[in-house]
């Protein structure tokens, strides 16, 4: 069987992308910084589903490591690539930490961008393949006060993915690019971002399954839950300044500001 590659496979949504793909018979390449977590996930899924797995440890904030990772995977027969690794941060922009934000931009934008470039070229040569970028419902909104850099980073992911999906459609390509835009998902995300959700989250397992289904149906923008689909519709109907105010209110609640 061909491979599914997952960045940020050591926890949360990425770990469940691995589980969904293994259940479909895909072999796995698991990428993140925490080697032991990746090895454990690979071992469990390999025993359960009889699949092969490979672990690659990389800090994707470092573009040399991103390039090296691609060099290591490109000889495998890859059918799916999940650009999933990412992190958030919250707070008033004048008070948040610049180094953490630059790190976030490196992982959420630069690494995702570089892998998108490498993998689209790889898939074009192969004739087909799936590239799913993990954005966020945050990326569908005009702006996210009090979580400004994270929202901006996810807007980049949504915009890039939609543009590339259209380019590929116009070429009549069989290569798929889509973007997953979940609302709150219960993962380690909040601990890293130092926030509490204002809304109840869905499980990472349900999120990954919905994403996989949407990807196989070749949906360009995948929004996993009815609540977030409604929120998206609402934000389109409201004037943008009002949507930004409501978003600010929700983010402030998360941080207790």
Ligand X SMILES: NC(=O)c1ccc[n+]([C@@H]2O[C@H](COP(=O)([O-])OP(=O)(O)OC[C@H]3O[C@@H](n4cnc5c(N)ncnc54)[C@H](OP(=O)(O)O)[C@@H]3O)[C@@H](O)[C@H]2O)c1
Residue in 53, 122, 130, 150 annotated catalytic: 150
The gap between the terminal CA atoms of the chain, to the nearest Å, is 50
Residue 182 structure tokens: 């979940």
Instruction: Give me the least distance between CB of 154 and ligand X, in Å please.
Output: 7
Contact present, 111 and 31 (Cβ < 8 Å): no
The angle formed by the CA atoms of residues 196, 40 and 111, to the nearest 5 degrees, is: 60
Question: Does residue 136 bind ligand X (CB under 6 A)?
Answer: yes
Helix (H, G, I), strand (E, B) or coil at 99: helix
Question: Does residue 55 bind ligand X (CB under 6 A)?
Answer: no
Binding residue for ligand X, selected from 42, 91, 178, 184, defined by CB under 6 A:
184
Q: Which stretch binds ligand X (CB under 6 A): 18-26, 73-81, 117-125, 187-195?
A: 187-195
For ligand X, the closer CB: 40 or 59: 59
Residue 199 structure tokens: 């809304």
Q: Which of 143, 164, 146 is nearest to 155 (CA)?
A: 143
In the shown chain, the binding pattern of residues 85 to 104 toward ligand X, with x for contact by CB under 6 A and - for none, equals: xxxx----------------
Binders in 164-183 for ligand X, by CB under 6 A = 182
Active site residue 151: no
Whole-angstrom CA distances from 62 to 29, 93, 116, 152 are 19, 24, 16, 20
CA distance 139 to 113: 15
Binders in 3-32 for ligand X, by CB under 6 A = 8-14, 32
Binding residue for ligand X, selected from 96, 187, 235, 243, defined by CB under 6 A:
187
Question: Does residue 49 bind ligand X (CB under 6 A)?
Answer: no
Q: Given the rule CB under 6 A, which residues bind ligand X?
A: 8-14, 32-34, 58-61, 84-88, 107, 134, 136, 182, 184-185, 187-189, 192, 201, 204
């Amino acid at each position: 069987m061909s491979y599914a590659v997952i960045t940020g496979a050591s926890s949360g949504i990425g770990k469940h992308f691995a589980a969904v793909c293994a259940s479909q018979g895909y072999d796995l390449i698991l990428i993140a910084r925490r080697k032991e977590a990746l090895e454990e996930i690979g071992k469990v899924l390999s025993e359960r589903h009889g699949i092969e797995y490979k672990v690659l440890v990389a800090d994707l904030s470092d573009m040399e490591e991103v390039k090296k990772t691609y060099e290591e995977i490109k000889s495998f027969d890859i059918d799916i690539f999940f650009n999933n690794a990412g992190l958030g941060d919250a707070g008033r922009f004048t008070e948040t930490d610049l180094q953490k934000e630059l790190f976030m931009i490196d992982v959420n934008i630069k690494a995702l961008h570089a892998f998108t470039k490498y993998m689209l070229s790889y898939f074009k040569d192969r004739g087909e393949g799936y590239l799913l970028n993990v954005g966020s419902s945050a990326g569908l909104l005009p702006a996210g006060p009090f979580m400004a850099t994270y929202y901006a980073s996810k807007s980049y992911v949504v915009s890039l993915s939609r543009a590339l999906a259209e380019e590929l459609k116009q070429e009549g390509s069989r290569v798929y690019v889509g973007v997953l835009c979940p609302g709150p998902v219960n993962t380690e995300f909040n601990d890293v971002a130092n926030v509490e959700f204002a809304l109840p989250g869905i499980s990472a397992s349900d999120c990954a399954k919905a994403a996989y289904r949407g990807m196989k149906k070749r949906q360009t923008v995948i929004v996993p839950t009815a609540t977030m689909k409604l929120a998206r519709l609402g934000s389109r109907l409201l004037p943008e300044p009002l949507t930004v105010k409501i978003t600010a209110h929700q983010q402030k609640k998360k941080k207790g500001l």
